[in-house]
Amino acid sequence: MPSPYRAIFEAPGTRAFTVAGFLGRMPLSMMGIGIVTMISQVTGRYGLAGALSAALALSAAVLGPQVSRYVDRYGQRRVLRPVTLVGLAAAAGLLLCVQFEAPDWTLFVFTACIGCVPSLGAMTRARWAAIYHGRADRLHTAYAWESIVDEVCFIFGPIISIGLSTIWFPEAGPLLAAGFLAIGVFWLTSQRATEPAVHPHEEHTGGSALRSPGLQVLALTFIAMGAVFGAVDVVTVAFAEERGAKAAASLVLAVYALGSCLAGAVFGMLRPKGDPSRRWLVGVTAMAVSMIPLLLAGNLPLLAVALFVAGMSIAPTMVTTMALVEAHVPRTKLTEGMTWTGTGLAIGVALGSSAAGWVVDTSGAAAGYVVPVVSGAVAVVVGLLGFRRLRRPVPTREGQRERDAEGAEERDHEGGQQPVA
């Protein structure tokens, strides 16, 4: 392991919560595609399968930030365990409804309840932020490591979920995803030493973290970026099917994630200088431009190469995004702030997959890649319009009090008695 990564794991407990977070994050890449595969295997209705996948994404987009807000207020253990039990019960209900051919509306009810499943990526990132607060170099590497973990989940998660549901039995993919969730959440929340401190209730009176202008820009941009990801997934499957190799779609998409994973690993070893907001805008622009070659790919090998190159801009942009969230959101609301970017992605994935499916049905798979190209352009426009908000973090009252207190502690530590204005 390269030395920057070895250094971040010197802190006690970091290895354990990383493994727990990895297991608990696998359902993020397994549950949605597992539901699609299960429903299509059992009923043959792809329209219903896609609608349930969209319902899961939208439910997670609504419920995820609320769960994270309570985590900031009451702590990970007190919130995540009961919420996870609700999600597991909903997953069990969905599987039973499929098994006993219950009405469609029951499938939507249970799928929507699964959306309360917590964002383990935000929880582990919050732990890193608490451990290495004020250490920008260590946090940069830690966030890069988290992006690598995300991509590993998206490389192997869909392959495992689809494979189990098609080879073993239809419910196997979602069932294993639920097992990963239970193990990951309960193991993570048992590790109290690295759990971020709970902040007093009065520090949460400023409302949602989304009131931050900078976070608003990031969340809106991530909606467009999510549309890129959702569209690429749908169109790639259709593209492979048109060429008689539908099963190869999962491998091509794994190459997409692999490009991001490798780029994130290299980016984590670097020490980027300069304005992070400018670096973020360059990353968003690179993601948008990298979609254009997809329109020219005439076969699966060329498509795989194009997606590998396109993936190389994802992880560095995500790492910089987490740094910007930390700069624009008070620490008392950091978990919620990080979750809002995931919410934007979830909404975008639902919109992008729906739009791409419509284009594929009307004009064919090759034309479907217009959707990620347009979505990438929208992301750049939103980023450009909000760039000034990102360059100037505006602390809330809680954040300003926190910074004042930290500054006072530093002055006391460095020089003892100093006049205070």
Counts for the chain of helices (H) and strands (E), in that order: 18, 0
Contact by Cβ (8 Å): 211, 336: no
Q: 201-216: per-residue pLDDT in tens? A: 544 455 666 677 778 8
Distance from the first to the final alpha carbon of the chain: 48
pLDDT score at 288: 92
Cα-only R_g, the chain: 21
- Please report the pLDDT score of residue 403 as a whole number: 42
Cα separation, 239 vs 367, in Å, equals: 10
Compute the half-sphere exposure of residue 16: CA atoms within 13 Å on the CB side of its CA: 13
CATH of 207-394, one of 3.30.450.20, 3.40.50.720, 3.40.190.290, 1.20.1250.20: 1.20.1250.20
133: DSSP letter: T
In this prediction, what percent of the chain has a pLDDT beyond 90? Answer: 17
Residues of the chain with confidence (pLDDT) below 50:
1, 202-204, 394-421
Give per-residue pLDDT as tens, 237-276. Answer: 778 878 877 677 778 888 888 888 888 888 877 777 777 8
The pLDDT value given to residue 421: 27
Residue 251 pLDDT = 82
Cα 158 to Cα 14, 26, 28, 226, 402: the distances in Å are 27, 9, 10, 17, 42
Determine the Cα–Cα distance for residues 170 and 38; give it in Å rounded to an integer.
5
By the 10 Å C-beta count (0-12 exposed, 13-18 middle, 19+ buried), 251 is classed as middle
Contacts of 110 (CB under 8 A, 6+ apart): 90, 91, 93, 94, 97
Q: Report the predicted TM-score, pTM, of the whole model to 2 decimal places.
A: 0.74
Give the model's pLDDT for residue 1: 45
Task: Say how far apart CA 234 and CA 253 lie, in whole Å.
Answer: 10
Sequence letter at residue 182: A
